[in-house]
Amino acid sequence: MGVIKRSIRIDEQLANDIKCIAAEQTNKTETDIIETALKFYRDYYYMQNKTSFFNEQVIEIIQSTFRTAENSINQKTNRVLSELAIQAAVQNLILANSLDVKMKDLHVYRLKALDFLKENNRVLRMDEIIDG
């Protein structure tokens, strides 16, 4: 390690504080105190501007955990939605058979409902579809 001599200008009060810290409190030289202070500032600057709190491995682990949780939630949601779709189809078939609705009319109703949902991009409300 090479030693570089530099001249710096500091306030007289700061120079007195450094001398006091070096002589009375730590038994180190003024050069050691200034060098330690500069190292602290270098590390502070690096942490503030050039690095993140988390290293890449931690970020990858967190992202992997989130992907696993997202997949699990999606699978559970898909199962619930599939079950709801099956139940809705069963209810529609029961209603169609009980009311003696022709399959042709049932298909037309379904197409109207799908068109309405595509146009409005929201939940189907029966009062709006009947009026349309």
Digit-by-digit pLDDT tens for the chain (132 residues) are 577 888 888 899 998 988 888 888 777 888 888 888 899 998 888 877 766 666 677 778 889 999 999 989 988 887 787 777 777 766 776 777 677 777 787 777 777 766 766 676 655 555 555 554
- Close Cβ partners of 27 (under 8 Å, ≥ 6 residues apart): none
Residue 66 shares a structural domain with residue 41:
no
123 in any annotated domain: yes
Residues 39 and 79 in one domain: no
Range of the domain at 32: 12-49
Instruction: Return the half-sphere exposure (C-beta side, CA atoms, 13 A cut-off) of residue 114.
Output: 6
Cα 32 from chain centre = 44
State whether 61 and 43 are in the same domain.
no
Say if residue 18 is in the same domain as residue 45.
yes
Q: Is residue 5 part of a domain?
A: no
86 plus 124 within the same structural domain: yes
Cα–Cα distance measured from residue 82 to residue 76, given in angstroms and rounded to the nearest whole number: 10
Q: Is residue 45 part of a domain?
A: yes
Contact criterion met (CB below 8 Å) for 129 and 116: yes
pTM of the complete model: 0.38
